[in-house]
């Protein structure tokens, strides 16, 4: 297994935010929203931890006309992009975007019916704090869905994934993807983080050649 190489927790330069937002995430973003729908995560008050440029709330708002979503991010530059996209789409009343650290938010306990995050966990410096906070703000019988990249076992596997899914991207975009794969956690590591955070009853599965998914369906 490759050694993990952490990356910066927050993409907060304009250049990094623009490069990330410009990458083609359409397929994986749609797959994530479909997973939310499949696992009963499209209801009530929703919280997106690490919303980035707001891709997931935008898709949700388009597919579910009465749904409202709160998205938080630590990056001011990402939030600038997200707010512009939300305003252009006409969803400013249904998508609330806040600057906040997902490891320690100002939300009260048991605030949200659904908590989710998409490809954020590998950025987080303290995954146990992140998962503990997700558990804290989730209401009893709430739903949780976390999807993230999964660290490849070998350098050859990593380069194959970069070539397959970012072969047509810019050099900088490929490097961002490569850094994220190095920073990603393994299934065993994520399972241990969940146990430490009091999320022993979640399901953890490999859901693609580069993704793992953690979910807790409504109880």
What digits encode the pLDDT tens for the residues 139-194?
999 999 999 999 999 999 999 999 999 999 999 999 999 999 999 999 999 999 99
Q: Topology of domain 14-216, per CATH?
A: Rossmann fold (3.40.50)
Extents of the domains making up the chain: 14-216
DSSP 169: S
The Cα 41–Cα 32 span in angstroms is: 11
Count the neighbouring beta carbons within 10 Å of the beta carbon of residue 92.
12
Mean pLDDT of 124-133: 97
Query: How much is the pLDDT for 44?
Result: 95
Percent of the chain with pLDDT over 70: 100
Query: How much is the pLDDT for 1?
Result: 85
Q: What is the largest CA-CA distance in the chain?
A: 46
Mean pLDDT of 69-73: 98
The Cα 27–Cα 155 span in angstroms is: 25
pLDDT tens digits for range 10-54: 877 888 888 888 888 899 999 999 999 999 999 999 999 999 999
Handedness of CA 218, 121, 208, 170 (dihedral sign): positive
Terminal C-alpha separation, the chain: 36
Query: How much is the pLDDT for 24?
Result: 80
The Cα 116–Cα 6 span in angstroms is: 22
| Strand (E) or helix (H) holding 147 | strand 138-149
Mean pLDDT of 121-129: 96
pLDDT of 75 > 80? The answer is: yes
Characterize the bridge pairing of strands 112-118 and 138-149: parallel
Query: How much is the pLDDT for 19?
Result: 84
Handedness of CA 96, 218, 211, 201 (dihedral sign): positive
Burial code (b: 16+ CB inside 10 Å, e: under 16) for 126-163 equals ebbbbbbbbbbbbbeebbbbbbbbbbbeeeeebeebbe
Query: How much is the pLDDT for 123?
Result: 94
Query: How much is the pLDDT for 114?
Result: 97
């Amino acid at each position: 297994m490759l050694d993990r190489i952490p990356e910066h927790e927050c993409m907060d330069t304009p250049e990094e935010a623009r490069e990330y937002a410009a990458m083609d995430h359409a397929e994986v973003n749609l797959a994530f929203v479909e997973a939310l729908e499949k696992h009963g995560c499209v209801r009530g008050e929703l919280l997106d931890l690490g919303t980035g440029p707001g891709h997931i709330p935008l898709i949700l708002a388009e597919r579910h006309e009465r749904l409202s979503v709160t998205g938080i991010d630590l990056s001011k530059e990402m939030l600038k992009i997200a707010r512009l996209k939300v305003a252009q789409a006409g969803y400013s009343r249904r998508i609330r975007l806040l600057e906040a650290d997902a490891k320690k938010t100002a939300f009260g306990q048991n605030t949200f019916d659904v908590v989710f995050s998409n490809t954020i966990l590998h950025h987080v410096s303290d995954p146990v704090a992140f998962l503990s906070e997700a558990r804290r703000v989730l209401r009893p019988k709430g739903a949780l869905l976390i999807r993230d990249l999964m660290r490849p076992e070998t350098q050859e596997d990593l380069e194959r994934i970069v070539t397959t899914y970012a072969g047509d991207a810019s050099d900088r975009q490929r490097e961002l993807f490569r850094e994220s794969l190095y920073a990603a956690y393994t299934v065993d590591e994520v399972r241990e983080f969940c146990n430490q955070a009091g999320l022993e009853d979640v399901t953890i599965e490999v859901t693609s050649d580069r993704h793992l998914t953690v979910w807790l369906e409504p109880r």
